[in-house]
């Protein structure tokens, strides 16, 4: 299977800068990559398969679309940019699926996005989405703080529940023992 180009760390950072991402966006992406790496390492230590490189690079480029917009559509913009650059489709999917704990088709349409699947499916996609939920800029916040902010911003109950369930799924994965 041809996966396309899996960028190095420096290439990912160059891509963000060349696309026109602001320095604070790039710093946020670095923070998400650090946290996602910590989460992935904990999960890997339980014996589960995790593509550590994909997590790190996916986290670095997850906000690529913020070079064009800071609205919810930044995920789709970043996805399109990644596709245009011929970047590994797994990275493009991380970019597209990192909003909260994903968007249903109905939510996507309500936001003016194409009717598509925006839910994180792979473990790597879920790790990046969760790590992003735990950061405001470069400041670490708790999942409870994220859920509170979502409620304050009028985010729907289903999206808030999905974000809570994703956090629980990751917490279980971080602490799970492999069966022997």
Locate the domains of the chain by residue range: 9-175
Of the listed ranges 1-15, 30-44, 80-94, 134-148, the one predicted with least confidence? 1-15
Instruction: Round to whole Å and give the CA distance between 28 and 11.
Output: 17
pLDDT at 180: 38
pLDDT at 1 over 60: no
For the record, the structure tokens of 58 come out as: 């996916």
pLDDT tens sequence across 57-114 = 999 999 999 999 999 999 999 999 999 999 999 999 999 999 989 998 999 999 999 9
The position carrying tokens 């994909």 is: 54
With residues binned 3-state (H G I as helix, E B as strand, rest as coil), the percentages for the chain, rounded to 5, are: 65, 5, 35
What mean pLDDT, rounded, does the chain reach?
94
CA distance 19 to 94: 18
Chain centroid to CA 164? 15
Give the architecture-level CATH label for domain 9-175.
Orthogonal Bundle (1.10)
């Amino acid at each position: 299977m041809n996966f396309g180009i899996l960028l190095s760390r420096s290439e990912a950072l160059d891509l963000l800068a060349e696309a026109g991402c602001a320095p604070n966006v790039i710093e946020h992406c670095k923070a998400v990559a650090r946290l996602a790496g910590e989460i992935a390492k904990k999960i890997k230590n339980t014996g589960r398969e995790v593509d550590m490189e994909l997590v790190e690079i996916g986290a670095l480029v997850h906000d690529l679309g913020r070079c064009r917009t800071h609205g919810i559509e930044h995920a789709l913009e970043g996805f399109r940019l990644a596709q245009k650059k011929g970047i590994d489709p797994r990275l493009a999917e991380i970019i597209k699926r990192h909003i909260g704990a994903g968007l249903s088709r109905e939510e996507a349409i309500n936001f003016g996005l194409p009717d598509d699947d925006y839910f994180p499916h792979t473990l790597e996609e879920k790790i990046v989405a969760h790590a992003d939920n735990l950061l405001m800029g470069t400041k670490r916040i708790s999942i409870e703080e994220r859920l509170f902010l979502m409620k304050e911003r009028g985010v729907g109950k289903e999206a808030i529940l999905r974000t809570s369930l994703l956090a629980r799924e990751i917490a279980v994965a971080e602490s799970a023992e492999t069966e022997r």
